[in-house]
């Protein structure tokens, strides 16, 4: 994972419109206007066609921990192929390490409470989710639209929030430099107060994803 991490970080640092978050505890970037409004609109259409209630590996007994809807996007869709090509041109991560692209939809009052994207070692179902492909390495998230009120993504530990903005990418390394999981990546998909929020999420793994 170290070699991949170095490569991703270096590529992002060279990307003209990538802005690094200046915090010592996290490796995080944002890229405004990463994808076009037209591609965002097509991805929203696909999410609405296939959305279902979101699930979570371990909700700690809280039935309202994640109240959004999720869509597993078809890799054969033209829009998804275009998106995957954009990801590869930015991060250089071999697509074989990527999980399938997911879309999320948040209606008024829906949220995803503070969580990390990595699977906690020793936690519920850790072996089930990591035995084959290993831990999650990088997260790449894209806002597909602007929200009238609410819906920010808040990184509590580093005191940084990102507002939904059409086509904006936010990405981060889920590990520390030594390869251990990074608790500073804790983040909260805040409640939407007015409007609807659409997001794309792409996760990468230490080993190949079993396509």
List the chain domain ranges.
2-204
pLDDT value of residue 62: 46
Please report where in the chains the tokens 């699930």 appear, as a residue: 55
- The region, left, alpha or beta by phi > 0 then psi within -120 to 50, assigned to residue 61 is left
Q: Which helix (H) or strand (E) holds 115?
A: strand 112-115
2-204: CATH, from 2.60.120.620, 3.40.50.720, 3.40.50.150, 3.90.1280.10: 2.60.120.620
Mapped onto helix, strand or coil, the DSSP state of residue 96 is helix
How many whole angstroms from its chain centre is CA 31? 13
Residue (of 25, 28, 5) closest to 161 by Cα position: 28
Question: 3-class secondary structure for 17-58?
Answer: CEEECCCCCCCEEEECCCCCHHHHHHHHHHHHHHCEECCCCC
Q: Which residue in 137, 31, 35 sits closest to 79, CA to CA?
A: 35
Query: Contact, 133 vs 208, CB < 8 A?
Result: yes
Report pLDDT for 1.
45
Low-confidence ranges of the chain (pLDDT < 50): 1, 3, 59, 61-62
**Whole-angstrom distance, CA of residue 27 vs CA of residue 191:** 25
Rounded Cα distance between 193 and 186, Å, is 22
């Amino acid at each position: 994972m170290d070699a991949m991490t170095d490569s991703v970080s270096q590529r992002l640092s060279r990307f003209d419109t990538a802005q690094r978050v200046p915090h010592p505890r996290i490796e995080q970037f944002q890229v405004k206007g990463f994808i076009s409004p037209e591609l965002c609109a097509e991805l929203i259409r696909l999410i609405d066609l296939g959305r279902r209630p979101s699930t979570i590996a371990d909700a700690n007994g809280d039935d309202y921990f994640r109240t959004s809807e999720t869509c597993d996007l078809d890799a054969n869709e033209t829009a998804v192929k275009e998106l995957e090509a954009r990801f590869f041109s930015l991060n250089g991560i071999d697509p074989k390490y990527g999980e399938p692209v997911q879309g999320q939809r948040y209606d008024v009052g829906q949220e995803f409470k503070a969580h990390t994207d990595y699977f906690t070692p020793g936690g519920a179902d850790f072996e089930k989710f990591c035995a084959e492909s290993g831990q999650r390495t990088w997260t790449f998230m894209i806002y597909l639209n602007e929200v009238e009120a609410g819906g920010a993504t808040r990184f509590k530990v580093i005191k940084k929030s990102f507002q939904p903005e059409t086509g904006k990418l936010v990405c981060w390394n889920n590990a520390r430099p030594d390869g251990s999981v990074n608790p500073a990546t804790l983040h909260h998909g805040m409640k939407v107060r007015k409007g609807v929020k659409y997001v794309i999420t792409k996760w990468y793994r230490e080993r190949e994803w079993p396509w």
